[in-house]
Amino acid sequence: MALASPVDYAGTITSSQRQLSSVMPRCNGLRCTIGYGNKSRAGGHLVVRAMSMDRLKLDFSNPNWKNQFQEDFDRRFSLPHLTDIIDVESRPTTFSLKSRTPLENVDGSLEESWNGYVNDDDRALLKVIKFASPTSAGAECIDPDCSWVEQWVHRAGPRKQIYFEPQCVKAGIVTCGRLCPGLNDVIRQIVLTLEKYGVKNIVGIQHGFRGFFEDHLAEVPLNRHVVQNINLAGGSFLGVSRGGASISDIVDSIQACTCNSGQEA
């Protein structure tokens, strides 16, 4: 059963990040958002907002079932903005628009209103196919008649404002679990996009979570030259692994790496 509203959990953060899991509620079947009370880290007051991810049981004989579905969908997939969770200042984006082509008018002149950035309130349809029948190939229906119901989600893309300093960022990329098609494409595109923002310190973590705490698995420096053609190969350029991860060791490794480099993780 879906919750009528988010559930807040408050706990105190101890001096060691290893104790973080001890103050967090279990989020089985819930989507948990972790932040700090009054949007500040200084107070050490952790707030976890949990929202049920279970779908609402609908009565399709009710003429208003579509409205109920959309309200439940919006509630479950309404994402908080970063500034709703922590106190952080924005800055003008460093994203390079050189690779994004401006719109052209009929006469070939550039569209003056074009800016290349995405508005925070933009939405995109989650599903764009209206199936005529549940027996249609690949049909995903909400009700037995495959009725069309709009499901809107946040649109991805570069914003005019960002909330990090690219020169202070150390970005780590890790692939965990099983292999799946397109992993190398994802790694490649993350690196290329980070560089468009001006992030220079990009590393790959080898063999899944093991790369965080096994000393012989060193970080792999990444840039556009390293990843240029990895999309032509299968598997994962960084390697993967399953299980055996110690959360406290992973957190300690990230914290030590961040402190030593003096950069934001």
Q: Find the CATH number of the domain harbouring 171.
A: 3.40.50.450
In a domain, 110, yes or no: no
Given this model, what pLDDT does residue 203 score? Answer: 96
Please name which of 140, 142, 41 lies closest in space to residue 87, comparing C-alpha atoms.
41
Given this model, what pLDDT does residue 179 score? Answer: 86
Phi, psi of 54, deg, nearest 5: -75, 140
Given this model, what pLDDT does residue 39 score? Answer: 52
pLDDT in tens, 4-51: 444 443 443 333 433 444 434 445 555 555 554 455 544 444 444 555
In a domain, 172, yes or no: yes
* Ranges of the chain with pLDDT below 70: 1-55, 99-114, 258-265
* 175 plus 147 within the same structural domain: no
How much is the CA Rg of the chain, to the nearest whole Å? Answer: 22
Given this model, what pLDDT does residue 79 score? Answer: 80
* 215 plus 260 within the same structural domain: yes
Which residues form the domain of 153? 62-96+117-163
In this structure, the chain runs to a length of 265
In a domain, 102, yes or no: no
* 67 plus 129 within the same structural domain: yes
Question: For tokens 């009725």, what's the residue?
Answer: 147
pLDDT in tens, 187-198: 999 999 999 999
Given this model, what pLDDT does residue 265 score? Answer: 54
* 148 plus 198 within the same structural domain: no
Q: Which of 136, 163, 190 is a domain's end point? A: 163
Beta-strand runs (E) in the chain = 7-12, 30-36, 45-52, 91-92, 123-125, 152-154, 161-162, 170-174, 201-205, 220-221
In a domain, 52, yes or no: no
* 205 plus 246 within the same structural domain: yes
pTM: 0.67
How many domains is the chain built from? 2
> 201-205 and 170-174 as β-strands: parallel, antiparallel, unpaired?
parallel
In a domain, 14, yes or no: no
Q: Which residues pair with 162 in a beta bridge?
A: 91
* 158 plus 175 within the same structural domain: no
